[in-house]
Amino acid sequence: MSSINGKTVLITGGASGIGKLMGEKLLKAGAKQLVIWDINKENLDKTSFELKAGGFTVFPHVVDISDTDKVIELAKTVKKETGSVDILINNAGVVAGKRFANLSHKEIDFVMNINSLAMMHITLEFLSDMIKKGNAHIVNISSAAGYVANPKMSVYAASKWAALGWSESLRIELEELHKDLHVTTVTPFYINTGMFEGVKSNPFLPILDSDKITDVIIEAIKNNKLFVREPLLVKTVPFVKGILPTRVFDWFAGRILGIYKSMDNFVGHEGKNHGKD
């Protein structure tokens, strides 16, 4: 079991959405200090003000995590400010909800950088200290889209598949060190943060409540769970996809579950087929 009490936590995309909720809940659960990385200064200032007003120790930093040089530079600053990071939550994510043919090269790079490459670079910057110290936990927010292809989510799905494969590989490598190092990979369905505003769902695959899913993630940290797959049907996807022929799975996911039509009315946070969290 991973203890939260007295730990230093770093959350990317921690000024809004589930990142903000996780930070607040971890502080209330006894975390010593919280480092928040976010690109949105307005949200960052507001969140840090609220948390500091509650008596918590918070270190907010504005950063575009797609800029690897800035990530490396800021990681050095964080280590000087707070010492080693004990719990790292790679939460920041973006989506470009368009068909692949309508995407720009810039949009492709941005989604891949934020959703997969950035978490690798960020983790690498803090990993050596985690290995030396032991008793550390890394949470990587992937997505159910890391298991299932979906129209208007091609690059998002690609980024989350990459995040999933990397996260699982990292977990195995760290377990081989036998130093109480843990990785939890989170693969949720759509969450009601506004990032996926306009998406459609059905009773079999309900849109997740941000408050409830953050509780599940924090319990997973405490209990060193390997995966958080929510809602219930997502837990079965790897098995079902593995045993069904591709065309049968397409029929099940597209016609029965409606996944392939879920992005038809997507508008995202900005109302321009783009979302970020």
Q: In what order do the strands lie in the sheet with 87-90?
A: 58-62, 33-38, 8-12, 87-90, 136-141, 181-188, 227-230
Residue 184 bridge partners (DSSP): 139
At which residue do the structure tokens 């670079």 appear? 121
156 is catalytic: yes
CA distance 118 to 148: 22
Work out the burial of residue 231: count CB atoms within 10 Å of its CB; fewer than 13 is exposed, 13-18 middle, 19 or more buried.
middle
Q: Where are the alpha helices (DSSP H) in 176-225?
A: 210-222
The residues, ordered by sequence, that sit 6+ positions from 273 with a Cβ below 8 Å of its Cβ are 96, 97, 98, 152, 266, 267
- Residue 74 CA from chain centroid, whole number: 20
The residues, ordered by sequence, that sit 6+ positions from 267 with a Cβ below 8 Å of its Cβ are 97, 197, 198, 273
User: Which is it for strands 274-276 and 94-96: parallel, antiparallel or unpaired?
Assistant: antiparallel
Among 147, 156, 190, 260, which one carries the catalytic annotation? 156
CA distance 3 to 20: 20
Q: Which of 230, 15, 240 is nearest to 143 (CA)?
A: 230
Q: CA distances (Å), 178 to each of 89, 175, 185, 220, in order?
A: 21, 6, 19, 19
What angle, 0 to 180 degrees and rounded to 10, lies between the N-to-C axes of helices 118-133 and 154-175? 10
- For the annotated catalytic residues, the residue numbers are 156
